[in-house]
Amino acid sequence: MKKILLSLVVIALCFGIKVNAQEQKTPDWKRWHYLSEEEMNTPVRAVNFTETPPPTGTPRFVAEFEPMQGVMIRYPLGIPTSLVAQLSNNCQVYCIVSTSQQNSAQNTFQSAGVNMSNVHFVNAASDSYWVRDYGPWYIFEDRNPAIVDNIYNRPRPNDDNMSGVFANYWQIPMYGMNLEHTGGNMMEDGRGHGVSDELVFQENGNNEANVRQKMRDYLGIDPYHVTIDPQGDYIAHVDCWGKYLAPDKILIAQLPASNSHAADYDAVANYFATTNCCWGYPYHVYRVQEPGGSTLAPYTNSLILNKSVYVPLGSNSNYNQQALAVYQEAMPGYEIVGVTNNDYYICWENTDALHCRTRGVMDFNMLFVDHRDVYHGEEEWQAEYPVTSKFIAYSGMDLKQDSLLVYYSIDGGAYQVAHMTATGEPDEYVGYITGYQGGSEIDYYVFGADESGHRYTQPVFAELDPHHFTVGPHSPSGELVISPSTVYLTSNWEEVPFYITNETSADVVIENYDVNYDFGNNKYLDIDDGVILPYTLTPGSTLEVNVALATIPILPKGDKGYVEAQIDINTSLGTRTVMVEVLDTAIDCGLYTSETVYFMNEPTMVVGVTNGNTGTQTPIVITEVYEPTSTAHPDTQYLALDFPELPYTLAPGENFLVNVGINPNLNRDEAVTTICIISDGGNIDLTIYIDGSLLGIDEISAETKVYPNPMSNVLHIESNNVQSVAIFNAVGQQVLFVENTNEINVEDLSEGLYFVKISDMKGNSIVKKIVKR
């Protein structure tokens, strides 16, 4: 490529840039993104662009700071090979390379120590290495990945074709948005807010309404913040002066006051400092100092890749260190990596650095946590603060229902955990912050996980930089406060809490709970407060009460309606009421069982499963019932099973019963087995726990007591000859083992059901069931 000298006027004609004749000057050819003389005299042509209708689903334009499966680069490179090596240890590297140059790329990477197991070569012709500008714009259309293509504002047909190359590579849809645009002039927060400078209007006939409509339809961008170009330079790309660091954080360059453009930079920074982010409060604006002039300082042109930020370094070490410090302050917990590039032909420029030459590839299977109604500032007093969030598992895997959590800290104290439950709205869950006083300072964040192994928090910085608000002033009401007033149950066995707070000046006694059902006398709710009633609630204290759909009722079919129940809380102050709404579709649960199978007193038992499709009235066909053989003892059948002839058609609401007998000669250490029930309405594995007393071991059982139940921090074993204690969780995994002690610290165990196996010095043992609260 030849160095060329063209007047700024010629260039302005190509790109529609307004130029004052008195300001004409000879440009540096490198700063024009390597436009050749031929290119600079060739108008932009949409030769590789096909317009399509916008996505029919809801588009979400993913932000750079969200999870990335990989990063796109192009060979011959525009970045140092040492950086390729670093990127290859962070994620997958997708390298655009022609077939004729692939061997060269591979040899170059291997010599630089690149992790070749994470490199994927995408064979395609390209014209330049500015993959940020011409690369595909990745979106989710509802839950599916897709690409949005636009008209690349350079006359480079191979580059302009790259969106189609990657749509074919990934085998995902591509939508053609008829706008002239580039990636360098676009940043987004992943929640519908986007930023560009005014070049986007200029390149599209100054038809602002058309630009905004297309950005909304194809990318889901609304509001679209279009600012002035504070640098006043040829490229007019936002990544040369600003950058989203998080949905509520923006980095803006700052020039010395003596610089002629300093006021414009300050004006843009002030715009964001007084404009609300997607979470309802003004952006936190971070300023990175740049000296201006010819001194190299391309700090906003960085790459965020998962939990690392790669920052291009300039020519002044003091400014470099200040820039890295600003990133670290704004993004606690991230690795901030300074990247030097001294190669003359591909060295960094103030208007062309690392961000311009790379592009992240969103994780197609990410977990998205979207808590929009963020509490901030001073919030009016509430008895509890509901934290509502959507959790979208793009992997298609189920959410981990016990791992949807709100972590919160009150007045700088240790973080507490509130489990989130479904609200009945698609993908939406709610958890409650409680236990504070008027004027309390609350820090909190939301956490989620799914069965694919993906985890995510909002904010992504978690406890290092959480959401924060102040509880408004509060005077006790002098009443017994029940909140929330209505509990929504949307799935089986999931516990949903309500809270009873004593705001009187005297003790209040909680005597009992009465449940009145809207449909007959079918008792389908389970109420658990973890205390023995009657219970005395002291002034200022709160009792958490959990409600669950514990028995599937036969209810009339509805259209996503709710079946109502009423819990009357009988207290020394009178009766207080909580309403319970059971989503009718929650009872269509396929095959289910409502109990853990545990043999304690008798060597035989009847166990059963139920057809829970009482809303849709769909029958279930049971095709197989069996006990898998033991891996340790493949010839041993632990159980004798007797059940109706198969296949068996189970009507909605009907029980399928299995008579189970235990082999009395079973070895005492083999006290767990399984019954598998296979059907077209789902499969169930019933875990069978067998009390040691049923295996001819009864010397220890009569004298042993285990308390308290429920246990909290310490479990006491009342027996004179305890040799060892093993505690197993509800799926048979040993979680604790101690010897020669009668007091066991169980503080670190999670809430739930456990089985405690106590063995004496003669080898006799007994198993007790106990609950941790």
Ramachandran category for residue 424: left, alpha or beta (phi over 0 → left; psi -120 to 50 → alpha)? left
Contact of 512 with 570, CB cutoff 8 Å: yes
Pairing of strands 525-528, 542-549: antiparallel
Q: What is the dihedral of CA 280, 283, 284, 285, to 10 degrees?
A: 180
Cβ-based neighbours of 539, under 8 Å, separated by 6 or more: 502, 503, 504, 505, 506, 507
Upstream peptide bond of 55 is cis (omega within 30 degrees of 0): no
Count the Cβ atoms, other than its own, within 10 Å of residue 556: 10
Contact of 184 with 238, CB cutoff 8 Å: yes
Contact of 648 with 691, CB cutoff 8 Å: no
Count the Cβ atoms, other than its own, within 10 Å of residue 266: 17
Active-site residue among 91, 240, 356, 589? Answer: 356
Name the token pair of 41.
């005299």
Concatenated DSSP letters for 733-767?
Answer: -EEEEEES-SEEE-TTSPSEEEEEEEEETTS-EEE
Helix (H) or strand (E) holding 686: strand 684-690
Closest among 351, 358, 356 to 28, alpha carbons compared: 351
- Between the alpha carbon of residue 628 and those of residues 117, 607, 638, the distances in Å are 40, 17, 9
Contact of 451 with 398, CB cutoff 8 Å: yes
Contact of 304 with 339, CB cutoff 8 Å: no
User: Residue 699 is which amino acid?
Assistant: E
Contact of 255 with 261, CB cutoff 8 Å: yes
Count the Cβ atoms, other than its own, within 10 Å of residue 479: 13
Count the Cβ atoms, other than its own, within 10 Å of residue 360: 24
Contact of 718 with 707, CB cutoff 8 Å: yes
| 3-state helix/strand/coil string of 336-389 | EEEECCCCCCCCCECCECCHHHCEEEECCCCEEEECCCCCCEEECCCCCEEEEE
Count the Cβ atoms, other than its own, within 10 Å of residue 93: 24
Q: How far apart are CA 41 and CA 266, in angstroms?
A: 36
Q: How far apart are CA 563 and CA 519, in angstroms?
A: 8
Name the token pair of 243.
């950058």
CB environment 482-502: b (16+ within 10 A), e (fewer):
bbbeebbbbbbebbbbbbbbb
Closest among 341, 297, 367, 274 to 80, alpha carbons compared: 341
User: Residue 356 catalytic?
Assistant: yes
Quick one: how far is CA 215 from the chain centroid? 25
In the block, tokens 């040899």 appear at 107
Q: What is the dihedral of CA 400, 589, 420, 365, to 10 degrees?
A: 40
The helix/strand/coil state of 411 is coil
> CA 141, 144, 147: angle at the middle one, nearest 5?
65
Contact of 353 with 235, CB cutoff 8 Å: no
Name the token pair of 350.
């103030």
Active site (catalytic) residues: 356
